[in-house]
Amino acid sequence: MLSDDIQKFEGTDETRKIPEEQESFQFDVFISHASEDKDAVARPLAYALKKFELKVWYDEFELKIGDNLTQAILRDGLSKSRFGIVILSIDFFKKEWTRREFSEFEKRSGFIEKRIILPIWHNVTKQQVIEFSPSLADKLARNTTTHTVEEIAQEIAELIQGKKPKDWYQRVLECVVTYLKKLYQNFYLLTRWQP
């Protein structure tokens, strides 16, 4: 049984793709983080995931002045996201909001028995994660001490999209080439136009 799971994970892009759920989700991922980890991990990760064309619920993208935080985060963000990225840190473990977000994803994960939580360890030890949540310590995680934010974002995009996303630079180059072609076509049309 375990060998089947390993073969599926190592198999073709199609076997690695996360199956679509019956419900439609507005966001691919929800990023749960402590505000102290925003500059080092959360913000760069959110932007890196958007470069891979994922729909990201991240507080700076979604929250507006006057929003009801409980409604915006739990109902409009977390519940409408296929996956929850949890950036685990000492500050994450201390905060009520992050604990609440994690708890909601853990409930949903247990209820439908699917992989929903994608953990990222940031300056924490295994023992600290075990003390926070023994079941979470048993999940394969990525660690910011061994992986760059860009590498983590690419792995998450591959998991969700079921294929290796195009290299970001290649996509930028394609956009530039398309723009230059249109510019050339417009220039050609203008030079042919005779009043």
Q: State which CATH number among 1.40.20.10, 3.40.50.620, 3.40.50.10140, 3.30.200.20 fits the domain covering 2-164.
A: 3.40.50.10140
Per DSSP, the three-state class of 17 is coil
pLDDT value at residue 88 = 98
Helix (H) or strand (E) holding 58: none
Closest CA to 30 of 116, 121, 143: 116
pLDDT for the residue 183: 76
Q: Which residues are catalytic?
A: 101
What tokens were used for 59?
């507080």
Contact predicate 29/52, CB 8 Å: no
- Which residue has 């958007």 as its token pair? 50
Please report the pLDDT score of residue 179 as a whole number. 77
| pLDDT in single tens digits along all 195 residues of the chain | 333 333 333 334 443 444 444 457 899 999 999 999 999 999 999 999 999 999 999 999 999 999 998 889 988 899 899 999 999 999 999 999 999 999 998 888 776 557 889 999 999 999 999 999 998 999 999 999 999 999 999 999 999 998 655 555 666 677 777 878 777 776 666 666 665
Q: What is the 3-state secondary structure (H, E, C) of 103-146?
A: HHHHHHHHHHCCCCEEEEECCCCHHHHHHHCHHHHCCCCEECCC
Q: For residue 111, what pLDDT is reported?
A: 61
Give the max Cα distance, the chain.
78
